Structure 1
Amino acid sequence: MTHKHGFEAVDRSLKDVMRVVDPRSRADVVHASLCSSYLWSSCKVLTLTKNMRLQAGSEDTNVYEIRKFSEWIQKFGDGLVGDPNDGDTEVDIEFTDDLLIQHVTNPIASLVDITYPDLQNRLWDPNYL
């Protein structure tokens, strides 16, 4: 847990970096990042390698699908999905049809229903969420 003042200081600093008369180039922004700071040598980079959220409460029948989706999410996070990107252009990521919410009038409600089935009846159950 980090004190809120730390995050607010970072927020103000990033706003200062981006609020200049002439827009900064990508190189300027990278140079102003934490990686270029004298503090970087004191940092330890931690990487997540296992998606525990996808495995919580899963049934044996869909373990293969969860593992496949988890591997895709890992590749996506590592930048291995799609074309190479130098940070200056948008990247088109292709999603398979099984990941898309299709043919619904309210996609947000559909996403909530898929993520939290029977939410209306189990909303006050502390073990459900």
Structure 2
Amino acid sequence: MQYRHAFESVDRSLRDIMSDIDKRRAKKPFGGITVVFGRDYRQILPVIPKASRAEMVGSTLTKSKIWEFFQVFLLKQNMRLHAGNTEMENKVIADFSKWQLLVGDGKVENFSPDADTGEMLIKIPDQYVVHTTQNPIESLFEITYPGFLRNMSSHSYLRSRAILTPTNVVVDDINYSILEKIPGTLHTYLSQDSTDDAGDEDNKFRSAFPVEYLNSLNMPCIPKHELKSRLASLSCL
């Protein structure tokens, strides 16, 4: 999502640096150094405030003068998906992988623009959706981690599956649901929310942001105030 001029600046800098070693390197892209780029050039555009789509397309690396020197490798297989445990799972995974690539190529069916935002809405096929009328997190967990209590001590079992979520709130809901299943004593650890030098009791910052509010914040890259864990005994495993 970088503007093409950023890459062109790196190109010129490396040509200048490497030309001190060999003058011929000044004519080679990136000074003759192999540079690997990874992204989806078909749909990920630079973020330019108040710019039209045409302006953003014109600022991509594919419109740069150095693009002619690139060797492009196209993704033909979804490397994030692995083989399942049964023949039926293998078929579902293979079909889902093909469908995802069609989405990236803009060739997927059943999509339409949103009337309010103009964004394209894609309907996920029913066979890839977990349908439930009770607890969606519970249903998703049972499908992803079958036989959890029997296999939760197996490293290979835990490494071979994962649940991806869009927000930290969903992560917490899944974690709490799993904690309820694990036998053992539940321990709660709290972060330090005060200091020895508390300052003036009439501090305006403390009035505007009480400790209870600060402890309730859940933001990326900042540890939560409350951490819960459960240490299961070997007899429970």
CA separation of 1:62/1:37 partners in 2, compared to 1, >3 Å: closer, same or farther?
same
2:139 counterpart of 1:114 = no
Q: Which has the higher strand share?
A: 2
Contact 1:17 1:32 (8 Å CA) reproduced:
no
Consecutive aligned runs of 4 or more in structure 1 exceeding 6 Å deviation: none
Q: Which has the higher contact order (CA 8 A, sep 6+)?
A: 2
Q: 2:55 aligns with which of 28, 40, 43?
A: 28
2:128 counterpart of 1:96 = no
1:1-129 equivalent positions in 2, closer than 5 A? 10=2, 18-19=48-49, 23-82=50-109, 83=111, 89-104=118-133, 106-108=135-137, 110-119=139-148, 122-123=151-152, 125-128=154-157, 129=159
Q: Which has the higher helix share?
A: 1
Gapped runs of 5+ residues in structure 1? Answer: 1-6
The structure whose Rg is larger is: 2
CA deviation digits over 1:32-66, x for unaligned, max 9?
11111223223222222123544424312443333
CA separation of 1:62/1:56 partners in 2, compared to 1, >3 Å: closer, same or farther?
closer
Gapped runs of 5+ residues in structure 2? Answer: 7-45, 160-237
Give the alignment's TM-score, normalised by structure 2.
Answer: 0.37
Identity %: 33
CA separation of 1:60/1:89 partners in 2, compared to 1, >3 Å: closer, same or farther?
same
- The match for 2:195 is none
- Aligned residue type for 1:18: I
- The match for 2:12 is none
Give the alignment's TM-score, normalised by structure 1.
Answer: 0.60
Q: Secondary structure of the residue that 1:92 maps to in structure 2?
A: strand
State the alpha-carbon separation in 1 of the partners of residues 47 and 119 from structure 2: 22
Number of matched pairs: 113
CA deviation digits over 1:91-115, x for unaligned, max 9?
2222222222332555455434433
State the alpha-carbon separation in 2 of the partners of residues 65 and 38 from structure 1: 42
